[in-house]
Amino acid sequence: MPNETRSLPGKSLLALAALVAVAAAPVQAQEPTGLLDSIHRHKTLTSTVTDNGDLNPYAVIVAPISVGKIQKDDILVDNFNNVSNLQGTGGTIVDYNPTTKKTTLFAKLPQHLAQCPGGIGLTAAMAMLKSGWVIVGSTPSTDGTTRTRGEGCLIVLDSNGQFVTAWTGPNISGPWGNIAMVDNGPTATLFVSMAGFSVPGPEVRDPESGFPVTMKKATVLRIELSIPEGKPPEIKGQTVIADGFGHRADKDAFLIGPTGLALAADGTLYVSDAMENRIVAIPDALKRTNSAGTGTTVTKDGLLKRPLALALTVSGHLLACNAKNGQAVEIDPVAGKQLYAQWIDTNQAQSPPGNGDLFGIAMTPDGTGFYYVEDDTNFLMEAAR
């Protein structure tokens, strides 16, 4: 074989160095006014792969109390894939204790539950109530694509990870993004994005764009819960407070639709509208009795690259994880301004680095950093000062 066919391009290392330099610095250098510019360390906390081979971590939540198997401030992470690698088949939740640094299996659901149409595939929709109940969404498939998508359900687990009940109904179809919540103890209000509704498999293409056909039926559902003492939560009311979001199948990402939810103190619900590459605001989310449609645009494009999960910082900024690169973006939603993007996952195994790797995000209890997952390596990560 001629030598030149075995030679390596010398510039690839230079390219790598340049990329790392970009990754290490905020994309926009400004006076420190937010959280991301104070974040300098990214620490691997644990592997989220379970003994049964489940992987592809999605939801990240922090436990509000100690109860059952869970200690306060534990981080719960669920898995969307099972050992077959197929998306929409994972059924496990792991519990990482930041004090002991131990990772344990919190829950392992069977592949099929009679109460959950289509099977089990745990999504980014997960919440833990102060009463100890854990609620987690399922958007299942049997072949890793939406071709075999089931309508899914919201599953209620007790604090020992045992299945209690599952909620289904005409408003529940593909519970997908991270849950925003107000938890008063005996009552709670949850917001869940629903990205299922009529989405066909990725083989059904829009002849104009060539992409899988886009629907406009995704919603945000508000769920009012009553939690009687010592008893599981019950749904007391459901209101679709936003609808008409674009959503579609994706061969790689399984499903694209409204994903991130964050509830501001003034009752505004922020939603990451992945299809439109924007963040929108749904006003009066706690009390409104009708749908705000797709709300009003807070910010669009710029540093956003298909935003996924959202978290709210102490100062009221939004952190959004980008699907299409490994960056987190900080946004001042009141000013409608994008502040920074930091390349929190620089893994070059994807292109651009970190593409498809991020999903869930949650603030640390002290608000000085955040937890996130890396789907490529199945790590729970901590971003800290």
Partner 1 sequence: MTDSDERTLRATRRGFLVTTAGLIAVAGSGIGGGAAAAIPADAKGTPDATEPAKHDIEPFWGKHQSGIVTPAQTHTYFASFDLVTTKRDEVIAMFRRWTAAAGRLSTGQTAEPLGYDAQSPAADTGDVLGLPPSRLTLTFGFGPGLFVKDGKDRYGLAAHRPEALVDMPVFAGDQLVETRTGGDLSVQACADDAQVAFHAVRQLARLAYDVAQIRWVQAGFVADFGKKATPRNLMGFKDGTGNPSVGDPKMMDQFVWVGSEGPDWMRGGSYVVARRSRIALEHWDRMNVGFQEQTFGRQKLSGAPLGKKKEYEPVDLAATDHDANLVIPENSHVRLAHHSSNDGARILRRSYSYNDGVNFTAERWPPWRQGMEYDAGLLFVCYQRDPRTGFIKIFERMSKFDMMNQFVTNTGSGIFACPGGIGKGEFIGQRIFEKA
Q: With H, G, I as helix, E, B as strand and everything else as coil, classify residue 163.
A: strand
Q: Is residue 12 at the binding interface for partner 1, with CB under 8 A as the rule?
A: yes
- CA 263 – CA 191 distance, rounded (Å): 9
Buried/exposed code over 224-259 (b: 16+ C-beta within 10 A; e: otherwise): bbebeeeebbeeeebbebbbebbbbbbeebbbbbbb
234, 252, 284, 301: which one binds partner 1 (CB under 8 A): 252
Tell me, residue by residue from 19 to 38, as one string, x for binding to partner 1 by CB under 8 A and - for no binding.
-x------------------
Sign of the Cα torsion 264, 268, 273, 278 reads: negative
Q: Identify which of residues 103 and 268 has a Cβ nearer to partner 1 in the complex.
A: 103
Q: Is residue 2 at the binding interface for partner 1, with CB under 8 A as the rule?
A: no
Q: Is residue 15 at the binding interface for partner 1, with CB under 8 A as the rule?
A: yes
**Using an 8 Å Cβ cutoff, are 177 and 192 in contact?**
yes
Task: Identify the DSSP state of 131.
Answer: T
Residues numbered 336-365 forming contacts with partner 1, rule: CB under 8 A: 347-351, 355-357
Minimum CB–partner distance for residue 376 and partner 1 (Å): 5
- Token readout for 297 is 């645009």
Q: Is residue 377 at the binding interface for partner 1, with CB under 8 A as the rule?
A: yes
Minimum CB–partner distance for residue 373 and partner 1 (Å): 12
Minimum CB–partner distance for residue 237 and partner 1 (Å): 37
Q: Identify which of residues 147 and 337 has a Cβ nearer to partner 1 in the complex.
A: 147
- Interface segment toward partner 1; rule CB under 8 A; list 92-100, 230-238, 272-280, 370-378: 370-378
Candidates 119, 123, 95; CA nearest to 109 is 119
Count the alpha carbons within 13 Å of 10 in the hemisphere toward its beta carbon. Answer: 1
Q: Is residue 290 at the binding interface for partner 1, with CB under 8 A as the rule?
A: no
Q: Is residue 104 at the binding interface for partner 1, with CB under 8 A as the rule?
A: no
Q: Identify which of residues 8 and 29 has a Cβ nearer to partner 1 in the complex.
A: 8
Residues for the chain: how many in total? 385
**Using an 8 Å Cβ cutoff, are 348 and 20 in contact?**
no
| 239: Cβ contacts below 8 Å, ≥ 6 apart | 221, 222, 224, 288, 289, 290
Residues numbered 161-190 forming contacts with partner 1, rule: CB under 8 A: none
Sign of the Cα torsion 114, 120, 126, 130 reads: positive
- Interface segment toward partner 1; rule CB under 8 A; list 7-15, 118-126, 287-295, 364-372: 7-15
13, 22, 182, 334: which one binds partner 1 (CB under 8 A): 13
376, 380, 382, 383: which one binds partner 1 (CB under 8 A): 376
Q: Is residue 85 at the binding interface for partner 1, with CB under 8 A as the rule?
A: yes
**Using an 8 Å Cβ cutoff, are 341 and 335 in contact?**
no
Element (H, E) at 17: helix 11-24
- Compute φ and ψ for 187, nearest 5 degrees: -135, 160
Q: Is residue 204 at the binding interface for partner 1, with CB under 8 A as the rule?
A: no
Tell me, residue by residue from 300 to 339, as one string, x for binding to partner 1 by CB under 8 A and - for no binding.
----------------------------------------
253, 264, 286, 384: which one binds partner 1 (CB under 8 A): 253
- Give residue 308's Cα distance to chain centre: 6
Q: Is residue 54 at the binding interface for partner 1, with CB under 8 A as the rule?
A: no
Please report, as ranges, the residues that interact with partner 1 according to CB under 8 A: 6-9, 12-13, 15-16, 20, 44, 47, 49, 51, 53, 55-56, 81, 83-87, 144-145, 251-254, 347-351, 355-357, 375-378
